[in-house]
Amino acid sequence: MTLGTDLAPQVLLPGFIGTTVPAWLDDALDAGLAGVCLFAGNVDPGDPHGTARLTAALRARRPDLVVALDEEGGVVTRLEAPRGSTLPSPAQIGLLPVDAAAETGALLAARLRAAGIDLVLAPDGDVNDNPLNPVIGARSFGADPEVVAERVAATVIALQAGGVAACVKHWPGHGDTVVDSHHGLPTVPAQTVERHAAPFATAFAAGVAAVMTAHVVVPEWGQTAVTLDAAALGRLRALTDAVIVTDAVDMAAVAAEAGPGAAAARALAAGADLVCIGNPGLSGIDDEAQYREVVDAVAAAIDDGRIPEARARDAAARVAALAAAYPAAAETDGSLPDGSPADGSPAEPDAATVRSIARALAEASTADVASIAAAVEVRDGRRGPSMAVATRARPVVEWLSEATTRELAAAPAGPGRIIVVADRLDDDQRAVIAAAQAQGAAVVVNVGPIGATAPHPTVELGADSPLSVRVLQEWLGGVAR
């Protein structure tokens, strides 16, 4: 065994396919793998205890394994991917007093602990002040840096008090971009970075355990993506001692030129501590081949000195310290921690919280919510569900479509009354809205960040999620239509 083959697994966070532990992952665990990141394909929606059993099986092979999950509430969920999250979205929380962020963080921590998760890739510290942003949107607490900062800090504190390490993302900020780093390399000016610094500063002050880098270029810092740039990561290390986690290295922003293996090696050499490899189930990628490419590339870079031994050992030590600070929640026999619901169902926001969200959304809306009840047709203006990489669910569209179908037979003749579900005013969605308006009265139901569909008459929902459906039901008297 070379030094590289010994150290490389200790700084990697791969995904894998399926709800059981594949043979190649067994081997990687035996070789000292740092952790795994679960995605929707690892969660069996028909088995409320399945994720806890899976994480327990993983830790039976390696007790100090880090098990991470992308779980933000709203449009980004893995545990509830088939139907969408029952927790408020950050955009919804941004309209409420800061206590709502702490309460939601505590609920999320309880869910994660019950599933055996010890690192959550949340909260999102991005300031979404660009309404055309294709990747952040309602994942952000809002467009005001101070509002975002207060809620980021409250969420971090609640999550970590609940026994789950938080990972604030995406430093130095992905909120003002029109390029999705899954598909290309965004540019963020230094002036924008400075404007968006407060949420990350409050997370660091709150003792956040980890921070995820953004695959963005800050031209004033150089022409290299921040994740791969030693000078940029040096700036980050000067701000915090948190574990530096990369965004997924299979994303085009860093992988397009030489692949995820080369990107992983460059990120570690630049100062990252833990490399998130990506979601192999998203595009039918061979999970073992993806991992082998990355681990071999990192091992080779350690052996030939591109990643200095001291840098690799420092990264591995930081990851090991994180695992020790947040021990696993689920026992190796698959049992759930004390206080978990016996049937595995997650705790949900109470009725008073839903009413508070409904009132805040109604006040933010520029159309009367009663206009929803007058509609007879629903059109989804998006090319796909919001953040389709996280969930294929379309609960708002489905509920509204079911409700309007029941009214079609009784609808009077005359101009159409059309709901267009949208999440931003890109060219495609603008065209759908314009066509609906040309056919008669139309109202936009916005499931993106608040204000993303101005200047159209809009009912704000702040997420395409089951919780948003609860808000609709609250508005329309608790029953469909």
Could you tell me what percent of the chain has a pLDDT over 90? 78
For 281-313, the pLDDT digits (tens) are 877 789 999 999 999 999 999 999 999 999 999
Tell me the mean pLDDT in the region 86-109.
97
Scanning 374-459, the segments in alpha helix (DSSP H) are 395-408, 427-438
Cis-peptide into 182, omega within 30 deg: no
| Dihedrals phi, psi of 446, to nearest 5 degrees | -95, 120
pLDDT of residue 336: 44
pLDDT of residue 386: 55
Q: Is 47 considered catalytic here? A: no
The encoded tokens of residue 328 equal: 């696993």
Q: Is the pLDDT of residue 118 over 70?
A: yes
> Which one has a higher pLDDT value, 376 or 106?
106
- Residue from 118, 247, 250, 423 carrying the catalytic annotation: 247
3-class state of residue 244 by DSSP: strand
CA-derived radius of gyration, the chain:
22
pLDDT of residue 390: 62
Distance between CA atoms of 281 and 43, rounded to whole angstroms?
A: 12
Residue 143 in contact with residue 128, Cβ under 8 Å? Answer: yes
Residue 250 in contact with residue 277, Cβ under 8 Å? Answer: yes
Predicted confidence band of residue 477 (pLDDT cuts 50, 70, 90): confident
Predicted confidence band of residue 393 (pLDDT cuts 50, 70, 90): confident
Q: Is the pLDDT of residue 479 over 80?
A: no
3-class state of residue 332 by DSSP: coil
H/E stretch holding 458: strand 458-460
Tell me the mean pLDDT in the region 379-405.
79
- DSSP 3-state percent helix, strand, coil across the chain (nearest 5): 45, 10, 45
Predicted confidence band of residue 13 (pLDDT cuts 50, 70, 90): very high
Distance between CA atoms of 98 and 209, rounded to whole angstroms?
A: 21
Residue 461 in contact with residue 445, Cβ under 8 Å? Answer: yes
For 158-178, the pLDDT digits (tens) are 999 999 999 999 999 999 999
pLDDT of residue 409: 42
Angle at 98 between CA 94 and CA 99, to 5 degrees: 125
pLDDT of residue 338: 40
Predicted confidence band of residue 347 (pLDDT cuts 50, 70, 90): confident
Amino acid found at 474: E
* Other residues' Cβ atoms within 10 Å of the Cβ of residue 10: 20
Q: Is the pLDDT of residue 481 over 60?
A: no
Q: Which of 385, 463, 379 is nearest to 421 (CA)?
A: 379
> Which one has a higher pLDDT value, 362 or 408?
362
Q: Is the pLDDT of residue 323 over 50?
A: yes
Scanning 47-98, the segments in alpha helix (DSSP H) are 50-61, 90-93
pLDDT of residue 95: 97
Mean pLDDT, the chain, whole residue set = 91
Predicted confidence band of residue 334 (pLDDT cuts 50, 70, 90): very low
Ranking 228-232, 404-408, 468-472 by mean pLDDT, the lowest is: 404-408
- Residue from 180, 182, 303, 314 carrying the catalytic annotation: 182
pLDDT of residue 370: 84
Predicted confidence band of residue 371 (pLDDT cuts 50, 70, 90): confident
Distance between CA atoms of 282 and 17, rounded to whole angstroms?
A: 10
Distance between CA atoms of 320 and 415, rounded to whole angstroms?
A: 64
Please state, in angstroms and as integers, the Cα–Cα distance from residue 455 to each residue in 131, 327, 366, 451, following that order: 12, 49, 9, 8
CA 160 to mean position of chain CA atoms:
17
3-class state of residue 422 by DSSP: strand
Q: How far apart are the first and last CA of the chain?
A: 67
Q: Is 247 considered catalytic here? A: yes
- Burial code (b: 16+ CB inside 10 Å, e: under 16) for 164-184 equals bbbbbbbbbbbbbbebbbbee
Residue 266 in contact with residue 255, Cβ under 8 Å? Answer: no
Sheet holding 377-380, edge to edge: 377-380, 418-422, 442-446, 458-460
Q: Is the pLDDT of residue 476 over 90?
A: no
CA 359 to mean position of chain CA atoms:
26
Tell me the mean pLDDT in the region 252-267.
93
Q: Is the pLDDT of residue 410 over 70?
A: no
Distance between CA atoms of 51 and 250, rounded to whole angstroms?
A: 24
Q: Is the pLDDT of residue 104 over 80?
A: yes
Q: Is the pLDDT of residue 51 over 90?
A: yes
